[in-house]
Structure 1
Amino acid sequence: MSTNAGPTVAVKLFIDKEKQRVLFAESDKEFVDVLFSFLTLPLGAIVRLLGKQSGVGCLDEVYKSVESLGTEHFQTEACKTMLLRPLNAVASHFDRLKVKLDYTNPRSVYVCSSSCCERQFSLVPDVICKTCKGQLHNLLEPPSDHSATVGCDSDGAFVKSGQKLIITDDLQVAPASTCLVFSLLDKFGLNEKADIEEKFIDLNNKKVSLPTASLQLILSLLKRSLTSNEPLTGIYFDTLQETKDTHKFHVIKIKLIQTADSSTVLYAEVVQDFVDLLFGLLSVPLGSIIKAHGHWPPNGSVDNLYRGVDGSASGCIREGCKSLLLSPKLATFFGCSINALEAKELDPQVFLSINKCSLCYKLYLDCNNNTCTSCGASTYAFYCDEVDPKSAGGAHGTSGAYIKGGMRNFIVTNDLRVLHFSLANSLQILRASNILKEKLVEKELALDKTQSSPCIRFSLGHWALPAQVLKVLRAAVATREALSSALLPPKKKSHPHH
């Protein structure tokens, strides 16, 4: 189906009118493609798309910290751009989506226009040429990625064509069948005579049958998939559930300012490596987070999408696409210096062919175009290697860090807001907490990624907390008090007296 607003995706909702809930939905591959595309989105892209109101743990504060931190703290200006607008490693597959979630992440190529360096390119803006130190600034649209079109032309981005699919309210996906529908009716305690209403939602790039823009509806579904166990009911009835609140790894040392009774953390005093660890989360795809931790926090349902890829929806996935969804990679050069989650990134591209006009110097990525469309002169081809945006000189082999090293201290609050360290910032946090300084203590922690049983030593006020780095990253997406949750000893449960 199509309209003058572009391709349309029809979704049929089966609604229990009495209890005002969506039982399940039925659709073709197009809608499920959109749902599975959530798994490939970097966390920073999710936060940006949701207007820094994702409600996912402390991620909004991490993202806003990157925004507010001065560029002098980053290795390059491009590092900040990479974190605020992380690229999707499978962006080319989004060309097959009938309803696109993100139009603001074009696959563009930046090259240097100077004649001194025709051997470099980047997919990230604000990158500096390693030869002439000028900025790569010519914007070019790259050719289509043929890998995204492998298979039958009628297949979707990730899902095979040819069959109807059932999506439950908590986003479990499976091929439609009578047996499945009957089991769902039994699950809800309904029979064939129940008052079940069928409603169609027609999504396209302009409007939707409900009184909201199609994009807003998809964004709402994305947010609810992260924070609600009933996202379909939420978007239809507008009742969003409120939520309660293989690389060598080196030890990260931090100073924790906490209450003496270990009830809460005020803030941590850290250096570059801990900040890089937090900021690096923004470039990690959602599916990689679920893979690393085994699940999403229980107040969301997006992990049902993840399990469905190799479970109930396995037979519907296009050949070669399972790994893209179950182990999505980071875009090239988007990994941080501390790869605690062991997420892989795409290899750099080499020998990208670009045509250049010999007269007006216009650049083309179509190697078959031997004549300039502007002046008619002949063009010639040259080849470029991809530049590391994190390197001030554009060279390869950097540390992978977004943040500069050296004698730089930062403050990280309990909700993972990052500030440069200063007495003014420290006092401001202390005053806002309403905690007397006499009740605060400072403890030094050594964090590593060892998966052994916790070992804590208290000599000289030092703690050694194995596996706590992974706990911090897990807490960053699960709670708004990440440092207290991950770094303080578990609170003892009170037992009633008999």
Structure 2
Amino acid sequence: MAEKKMINIRLLVDKEKNKVVFAESDKDFVEILFSFLTLPIGTVVRLANNETNLGIDALYKSVEALDMQCLQTEACKKMLLRPRSEADHKNKSLALNYLGSADLLDYYICPKWTCTSETHCLYSMFESATCLCGQKMNRRFVLGKNITDDNRLNGTYIVNGSGKFMISDDLEVTRLSTDTTFQILSRFGIKDGSALEEIKVSVGTVEVLDLLKRSMLSKKPMTDVFLMKQKGIHAKTIKTEKADKKIKSESDNKPVNLNLLIQKSQNKVIYAVVEADFVDFLLSFLTFPLGSVVELLGEFSQGSICNLYESIEKLSNIKPEIMRSTDNLLRPKIACQHGCKNQLLPIEEEKKAVTMCESCFYAGLGGNCIHGFYLRKAYLCLINPKVLAAVKETGGRFMKESIVFMVTDELIVEPFSQISSISFLNKQCVPFNDLEERSVSVGKQEVSAHSYYTLIC
């Protein structure tokens, strides 16, 4: 369960328009907003209860429905539905732990200490893993907080947190300035102060999760959550403006083959029959951190999440003494071992190796554990849960290579069968004489960009 703690903020409200002009808060609330950028897309969908109204909702539900026989290992499904973040430990230190689920920070080692510390030096994200010695890696340990690299696993996103911050209705964050009241009101287009009112609100886990959901789709998430009490947006109200920014792929140029079933009269794809490597590519989006998605896309026009991203850039440039290193917010990495072989977009994967304390089974990146014991210098490597053998190499597949899949235009993914495809066509009420099959071969860079926009728009 998430902590039952509240953070108090102040809102300046335009009573006539029933609209939040801006909010004032200390760093605790701002850091929570910034932490949104570290969350994997799959985590965003899960926290929003599959109600983001983006294409990824259907993709997430597809993973939930997939039979385990379609996946390489049992861990693959867990990784996609509950992907880890490189900032898990930092977010655990937030003033309000809106993520809950402390088990996400757990890891497992072989119960044989000499195997862990000397022979194989492995640890796992999942209790079901088998060590190279043949034993189940079922001895639990957690990464300690008292480590030398607190900028990566502990501490805060904001260094100088003694001042106040101003957050606009569309989540633009600035340091509270010395501007006059008139200047501030003019900036927000306020000509008559008589309609303004101060409201004090308490923010808890429910409000934070609502803000996360609304930040993806709304230009006024503060008003929606604190005044309108809205938690969702009907899909028909979303306006999508796709960016022209080109996404570079560092993968090879080998084409991806797709067999499409087209409705000729509408020039619309009904579904595609694809191999496992294309499905791996689609599912890998669930492991991508939101900040890296915003960085690559360059525009997230239907929501306010871009304003958070740009606020961090501005704060780090104008007031560099305020922010710590911003890479884990603006260019967050995919969590260690969460990347896959067919990951086409240039998002770096975290490299993680830890040292352990023999006495208490806490681990870190060096120095002492939380109880003061020295951490051994022998590094433990995280095994790849997508591979049955306990290997350290990155990559691998989520899906079994031998299975063919059907992907609908709404990004519903399921194993392909003739009966299922016919049933799907009947539900679409498309006359068979209006259908046409097309085989297309598309370069990976083009597939990357197109699918990227489809997933988030």
TM-score by length of 1: 0.79
Task: Pick the structure with greater CA Rg.
Answer: 1
Rounded to whole Å, the distance in 2 between the matches of 1:368 and 1:326 is 30
> 2:390 aligned to 388, 394, 397, which one?
394
CA apart distance, 1:136: 2.0
* Equivalent pair of 1:260/1:440 in contact (CA under 8 Å): yes
Deviation at 1:364, TM superposition (A): 5.6
Amino acid at match of 2:207: L
| CA–CA separation in structure 2 for the residues paired with 1:180 and 1:127 | 60
State the AA in 2 paired with 1:143. G
For 1:322-377, what per-residue CA distance to the aligned partner results, in whole angstroms no more than 9, with x for missing partners?
11111001110111222322100111315x32427xxxxx95659979x9xxxxxx
Aligned to 2:251: 248
Residues 108 and 140 in structure 1, CA contact (< 8 A), matched pair in contact too:
yes
Which of the residues 224, 231, 246 maps onto 2:221?
A: 231
Q: Secondary structure of the equivalent of 1:98? A: coil
Determine the structure 1 residue equivalent to 2:241: none
- TM-aligned CA distance change 1:192 to 1:398, over 3 Å: closer
What is the SS of the residue equivalent to 2:216?
helix
| 1:458 matched residue in structure 2 | none
What residue in structure 1 maps to residue 451 of structure 2? 472
Q: Give 2:413's aligned residue.
A: 418
Residue matched to 1:81: 78
Partner of 2:87: 90
Q: Distance in 1 between the 2:74 and 2:293 partners?
A: 26
CA contact (8 A) 2:406 2:415 kept: yes
Q: Percent of aligned pairs with the same residue?
A: 29
* Residues 13 and 26 in structure 1, CA contact (< 8 A), matched pair in contact too: yes
| Structure with more contact order per residue of length (Cα contacts < 8 Å, sep ≥ 6) | 2
CA spacing shift, 1:130–1:393, aligned 2, 3 Å:
farther
Question: Distance between the aligned counterparts of 1:308 and 1:192, measured in 2?
Answer: 28
SS of residue in 1 equivalent to 2:105? coil
Q: Aligned-pair distance for 1:176?
A: 1.3
Call closer, same or farther: CA 1:50–1:147 in 2, change over 3 Å.
Answer: farther
Amino acid of the structure 2 residue aligned with 1:100: N
User: Is the alpha carbon distance of 1:313 and 1:117 closer, same or farther for their aligned partners in structure 2, counting shifts above 3 Å?
Assistant: closer
**1:384, 1:50 → 2: CA distance?**
35
Q: Runs ≥4 in structure 1, deviation > 6 angstroms?
A: 366-369
Which stretch of structure 1 is more off in the superposition, 393-402 or 426-435?
393-402
1:347 and 2:326 aligned: no
Which residue of 1 is the match for residue 105 of structure 2? 107
Task: Name whichever of 187-196 and 30-39 sits farther off.
Answer: 187-196
Shift of 1:468: 3.3
Aligned to 2:246: none
Q: Does 1:304 align with 2:278?
A: no
Alignment root-mean-square deviation, CA: 2.9
Q: Aligned residue for 1:11?
A: 9
Aligned partner of 1:266 among 261, 270, 286: 270
Deviation at 1:420, TM superposition (A): 0.5
Alignment of 1:36-435 (within 5 A): 36-55=34-53, 57-105=54-102, 106-114=104-112, 117-118=115-116, 119-144=120-145, 146=147, 149-150=150-151, 156-158=156-158, 160-179=160-179, 182-191=182-191, 193-203=193-203, 214-237=204-227, 238-239=229-230, 241-244=233-236, 247-249=250-252, 250-296=254-300, 298-312=301-315, 314=317, 315=319, 318-349=322-353, 352-355=355-358, 365=363, 384-397=380-393, 399-405=395-401, 407-435=402-430
Q: Pairwise mapping of residues 457-496 of structure 1 onto structure 2 (< 5 A)? A: 467-478=446-457
- Structure with the bigger percentage of helix: 2
Deviation, 1:291, is 0.7
2-structure distance, mates of 1:113, 1:21: 57
Unmatched tracts of structure 1, length 5 or more? 204-213, 357-361, 372-379, 451-466, 479-498
Question: 1:27 deviation in Å?
Answer: 0.7
Number of aligned positions between the proteins: 429
User: 2-side partners of 1:306 and 1:88: how far apart?
Assistant: 17
- The separation in 2 between residues aligned to 1:336 and 1:343, in whole angstroms, is 11
Work out whether residues 146 and 368 of structure 2, in 8 Å CA contact, stay in contact via their aligned partners in 1. Answer: no
Give unmatched runs, 5+ long, in structure 2: 239-248
- Quote the Cα distance in structure 1 between the aligned partners of 2:257 and 2:321: 44
Q: Does the Cα contact within 8 Å between 1:92 and 1:145 map onto a contact in 2?
A: no
Gap change, CA 1:48 and 1:174, over 3 Å in 2: same
> 1:181–1:67: structure 2 CA closer, same or farther, 3 Å change rule?
farther
